[in-house]
Amino acid sequence: MTWARMVPAIDRERLINDLNAISRIGLGEHGAVTRLAFSIKELRARQLLIHWMRQAGLKIHIDRIGNIFGRLNGANPKAPAVVAGSHLDTVIQGGKFDGAVGVIGALEAVRTIREKKVPLRSPVEVVCFVGEESSRFGFSTLGSSLVAGEVKIEDLANAVDAQGTKLEDILASMGIYRDNLASLKRDHSTVRAYLELHIEQGPILEAKNKKIGVVTSIAAPTRFKVVFTGQADHSGTTPMEMRKDALVAAAHLIEYVEEICREFSRMEKGRVVGTVGALKIEPGVINAIPGRTELSVDIRSITAEAKERVAHLVKEKAREIARQRDITVDVLPIREELPVALDDRLVLLLKRSCEEKGIPYEVMPSGAGHDAMQMANITRAAMIFVPSKRGISHSPLEWTDPEDICLGTELLLNTIVRVANEEV
């Protein structure tokens, strides 16, 4: 069975209109979108999705954390479901495509299946996962991690937002505690596959003039905080040689993260990227020597060994800097995840589908994290990328051509139909 015979056209105008409607929630200056996890804006986006799912005739299930599943049954309602989606939360001042394309694309695919009466054997579910972005708590893919049974108690210890709110308290307010973290885990026998459409968030597809990325693996992050504690003191009276400046220590470590990751980027095996994306300075005033700094470190690679090596070197360097400056250092783990391989047979199906349709595609790894890396723990998972203009993401400048979003959605639809009809 080929793509052309199986797949009716999606409603391109509805897809782009709905994406635009979602992006107006949390829209700020210069087109920046902010819908942090569990914020009112994220909730409103999820409410709009529920409304559309109802209109589309989907059976809705919302779990305790707020993950939304909209289900369309096939001929065999007891068969495991093909689940497709992504997330609607964003970073601070992000773009309108990261996450939303995968949720609204999956919704459009399922609407098309229902309206055009495309025969399905297995059920299909559209999913919106809560809190995929780590921007609020330093903890990524929260909703999908709970569904995959991948949240560990120790992961929560240092998950605190900028206002001091603990992720653990938010979870408790929803009835999720240390001893029932596993209760949201989905029985793997109820899921046939997980499919996620997403913007590439990098420059490869545009540079190679390809329309689709077929993702083979996802580089999962290792994250930790480094806290330097020196001595806050008067900036006018304290002689230079008597200072214990925690910010200068932090500056040396930030530079080292860049240096060591550049070194590893040049290696043939095990490209590693590393970022210090957040820094707290105390007391943080112009006339006091910084007494305490807290750095958030994010290290990623497709190769677990290379990532572990770099994380180890960065921690060692932090201790060395502290020793040299006679200050103290603490390393607080946030989360350590392993790179994930996506399903070979689904990769093959995606490649074949692109070839049938004459779509130029690239087989590639993902440098960004995604809900698919959690879902891959309980089912076969696959991802479809569409090009990002100039490779920019997590920025208001994020842009993907509507034509490419439509093409990606059509490929998603084609894949959902094929997997739900048990071709693979």
For ligand GLV, the closer of residues 110 and 368 by Cβ is 368
Residue 199: phi, psi to the nearest 5?
Answer: -70, 150
Does residue 18 belong to the site contacting ligand GLV (CB under 6 A)? no
Minimum separation from the CB atom of position 133 to Mn ion (A): 5
Q: Are 415 and 346 in contact (CB under 8 A)?
A: yes
Binding to ligand GLV by CB under 6 A, coded x per residue (else -) over 314-353, reads ----------------------------------------
From the list Mn ion, ligand GLV, none, partner contacted by residue 230 (C-beta under 5 to 8 A by kind):
none
Omega into 283 within 30° of 0, i.e. cis? yes
Q: Are 107 and 126 in contact (CB under 8 A)?
A: yes
H helical segments located in 116-245: 142-147, 153-156, 167-173, 204-208
- Per DSSP, the three-state class of 76 is coil
Closest to 299 in 3D by CA, of 325, 324, 318:
318
Binding to ligand GLV by CB under 6 A, coded x per residue (else -) over 390-409, reads --------------------
Structure tokens at 229: 């504690």
Does residue 133 belong to the site contacting ligand GLV (CB under 6 A)? yes
State which of positions 92-131 bind Mn ion (CB under 5 A): 98-99
Tell me whether strands 81-87 and 191-199 are parallel, antiparallel or unpaired.
parallel
Separation of alpha carbons 160 and 141, rounded Å: 15
Minimum separation from the CB atom of position 132 to ligand GLV (A): 7
Separation of alpha carbons 95 and 109, rounded Å: 23
Does residue 369 belong to the site contacting ligand GLV (CB under 6 A)? yes
State which of positions 134-163 bind ligand GLV (CB under 6 A): 134, 140
Residues 6+ apart with CB under 8 A from 230: 243, 244, 245, 246, 249, 289, 290, 291, 292, 325, 327
Minimum separation from the CB atom of position 394 to ligand GLV (A): 7
Minimum separation from the CB atom of position 134 to ligand GLV (A): 6
From the list ligand GLV, Mn ion, none, partner contacted by residue 362 (C-beta under 5 to 8 A by kind):
none
Minimum separation from the CB atom of position 372 to ligand GLV (A): 11
Which of 51-59, 75-83, 90-98, 295-303 is the region at the interface with Mn ion (rule: CB under 5 A)? Answer: 90-98
From the list Mn ion, ligand GLV, none, partner contacted by residue 369 (C-beta under 5 to 8 A by kind):
ligand GLV
Closest to 226 in 3D by CA, of 356, 143, 322:
322
Does residue 368 belong to the site contacting ligand GLV (CB under 6 A)? yes
Binding to ligand GLV by CB under 6 A, coded x per residue (else -) over 268-307, reads ----------------------------------------
Minimum separation from the CB atom of position 4 to Mn ion (A): 30
Which of 50-58, 133-141, 188-196, 413-421 is the region at the interface with ligand GLV (rule: CB under 6 A)? Answer: 133-141
DSSP state of 362: E
For ligand GLV, the closer of residues 210 and 223 by Cβ is 223
Structure tokens at 303: 């190769």
From the list ligand GLV, Mn ion, none, partner contacted by residue 141 (C-beta under 5 to 8 A by kind):
none
Separation of alpha carbons 216 and 343, rounded Å: 7
For ligand GLV, the closer of residues 95 and 291 by Cβ is 95
Minimum separation from the CB atom of position 388 to Mn ion (A): 11
Q: Exposed, middle or buried: residue 153 (CB in 10 Å: 0-12, 13-18, 19+)?
A: exposed
Separation of alpha carbons 412 and 410, rounded Å: 5
Minimum separation from the CB atom of position 354 to ligand GLV (A): 24
H helical segments located in 298-401: 304-325, 344-357, 371-375
From the list Mn ion, ligand GLV, none, partner contacted by residue 339 (C-beta under 5 to 8 A by kind):
none
Q: Which residues bind ligand GLV (CB under 6 A)?
A: 133-134, 140, 368-369
Q: Which residues bind Mn ion (CB under 5 A)?
A: 98-99
